[in-house]
Amino acid sequence: MGKPTGFFEYERKTIPERDPKERIGDWRETHDHRDDEAVAEQGARCMDCGVPYCHTGMILSGMASGCPINNLIPEFNDLVYKGRWKEAYERLIRTNNFPEFTGRVCPAPCEGSCVLGSIEPPVTIKNIECSIIDRAFEENWVTPDTPAERTGKKVAVVGSGPAGLACAAQLNSVGHDVTVFERADRVGGLLMYGIPNMKLEKEQIVQRRVDLMEKAGVKFITNTQIGRDYPAEKLRKEFDATVLCCGATHARDLPIEGRELDGVHFAMEFLSANTKNLLDSKFNGSTPPIYAKDKDVVVIGGGDTGTDCVGTSMRHGCRSITQLEIMPQPPLERAANNPWPEWPKTLRVDYGQEEAIAVFGADPREYLVTAKRFIKDDDGKLSGVEIVNVEWVNKDGRFIPNDVESSRRIIPAQLVLLAMGFLGPEQPLVDQLKLEKDARQNVAAEYGKYTTSVEGIFAAGDMRRGQSLVVWAINEGREAARECDRWLMGDTQLP
C-alpha cells in the first residue's frame, strides 16, 4: 500500500470535463487532458482493502457489483501512485484486452462497490484505468500480441463488437487462425457505430486497436452478413469452430398511433447514421441522413443510449430537447434497499444532460411520463407527441404503470428517437443454424461454458445474456475463447 493515509488526505478528483458549451461544437471526446501527477494522487486514495469488492464481478440484485473482468484494481492503483506506470499497464492487460474502451465507456461498477465508497466518494478507478492505457500507447508499450506458433485450427468469430474482438484476440494469442466477420463497413460493432464519437473516438481509439489485432494475425472481413452474404452452413464446413458474438440488436419498439410517421426513428438508426456520416465525410460537417438541427427532439428512454441521443442532438443544433422516462426519478443518495456494495441506483447527470442544462437551462429529463401517440400536422408530418404522467400501482403482486388522465398534454416534436432498450438478438441467423433459445429468445448457452445446442458453435456477449455492458461483453468473449480453445485442443491455458 503506497500511502496508508491517502484516503484521508486526498479528495476525489476526476479528469476535468471540457466546458459543455464548448464541446457541443465538435465531436471530440468530452474530457480534458489528464495530469499524471493528479492521477497518481488519486491512486493513493485506494485503501488496499483486505477484502476488496472492486474486482469481484458479482451480480447483486440483478446488477454488476465490482469489475466483471476482475481487473487487479488495488495493484494498479498502488503502482500508479508509486510512478511505476509500465508495471501498472502490465497488471491491467492481464485481465482486460481493451482498457482504452472500458476506461471511457464503462459505467464503472468497480467504483460502485469500492470499499472507500461506503463512507466517502470512491476511488477514481475508471480514470486511472484510462490513464494507464493512454500512457502505455504514448510510450509505445502496446504492441501486437503475435503468437509464437500456429495450431492450424481455424475459428470464425461472427460480430466485431467488444465480445467478438475480445474472443478473437484471445484465440489468436494461442495460435489459432481467427477470422472475424462484420456486417457493417467498419470493424467494431457497437464500439464503432453504437457509441458516439464524443464518448469513444473511432479513428484514434477503436481503429487503432483493430490495426494492432490485424498486425497480430487476426483477419477481418467487413460488409458480410452471415446468413445473407455468406451461408451460415458454410461456416461449419470451412472452420473448425465458430463463436457467435452478434449482440442484442433487436430494438424495443413503441407501436402507438403515428409510429409510421417520418421522423420517428430507433435510437440506433440515428446514432449509427450520424457516426458513419462523420467518418465518411472525415468530420467536415456534412448533413447526416437523420438530422436534429432546428428541431424539437423527443428522446423516449432514460438510459445511456437515450443520453447519447441527447448529446448528438445538441451537437446538431436542436431547437429543444426532451427526454421521457417512465420510471421515477432516482434518489440523490442510496436508498435503504440499495446498500453498498450494490450498484448505487442514484440520480446521475451525464454528459448529454449537462450539455442540455448549459444551453437550455434545465435538465431535459421528465420522469413518470409515457408517450401515447405521435401527432401529425396538416401536411402529414410529425409535429408532436401526446404524453401522460403515470403512477406505478401494485396489481396482483406486479407493479404496472397507470395513466393519470388529467395530465395528458402535447409537446412539440419533429424528431422522435426511441431508446427503450433491446429485446435480444436478431433471429434469422439463430434460426438458420437451428440453435436452441432461452425464454427471452437469446441463444441458449450456459454462462461459463458458452456451448450452444450445435456442436462446435459457441455464443457469447449480448447475444447470449441479453443487453448488457461492454465490460460484460469482454468478460464473455474472453471466457468463450477459453472454452472454444479447450474444445479444439483438449486443454487450454487461457484464463
- The low-confidence residues of the chain, meaning pLDDT below 70, are 1-2
Map out the domains of the chain as residue ranges. Answer: 6-138, 154-249+423-489, 253-420
Query: Comparing C-alpha atoms, which of 219, 220, 218, 216 is closest to residue 189?
Result: 220
Distance CA 150, CA 172 (A): 9
SS (H, E, C) 79-116: HHHCCCHHHHHHHHCCCCCCHHHHHHHCCCHHHHCCCH
Is the distance from CB of 158 to CB of 230 less than 8 angstroms? no
Provide the whole-model pTM: 0.96
What is the pLDDT, as a whole number, of residue 1? Answer: 63
Q: Do domains 154-249+423-489 and 253-420 have the same CATH topology?
A: yes
The dihedral through the CA atoms of 468, 474, 478, 484 has a sign that is positive
Is the distance from CB of 279 to CB of 184 less than 8 angstroms? no
**295: helix, coil or strand?**
coil
Query: For domain 253-420, which architecture applies?
Result: 3-Layer(bba) Sandwich (3.50)
What is the pLDDT, as a whole number, of residue 2? Answer: 66
What is the pLDDT, as a whole number, of residue 244? Answer: 98
Q: Grid coordinates in use for 384?
A: 408532436
How far is residue 433 from each of residues 232, 243, 256, 454, 462, measured CA to CA in Å? 7, 12, 34, 8, 18
Q: Which fold has domain 6-138?
A: Fumarate Reductase Iron-sulfur Protein; Chain B, domain 2 (1.10.1060)
What is the pLDDT, as a whole number, of residue 149? Answer: 96
Task: Provide φ and ψ at 214, rounded to 5°.
Answer: -60, -40
What is the pLDDT, as a whole number, of residue 3? Answer: 85
Beta bridge partners of 371: 387
Query: For domain 154-249+423-489, which architecture applies?
Result: 3-Layer(bba) Sandwich (3.50)
* Beta strands at 382-395 and 369-376: parallel, antiparallel or unpaired: antiparallel
339: left (phi over 0), alpha (psi -120 to 50) or beta: beta
**307: helix, coil or strand?**
helix
Q: Note the pLDDT tens digit of each residue in 268-294.
A: 999 999 999 999 999 987 899 999 999
Beta bridge partners of 79: none
Query: Comparing C-alpha atoms, which of 264, 274, 269 is closest to residue 311?
Result: 274
Q: Note the pLDDT tens digit of each residue in 441-484.
A: 999 999 999 999 999 999 999 999 999 999 999 999 999 999 99
End-to-end, the C-alpha distance of the chain in Å comes to 26
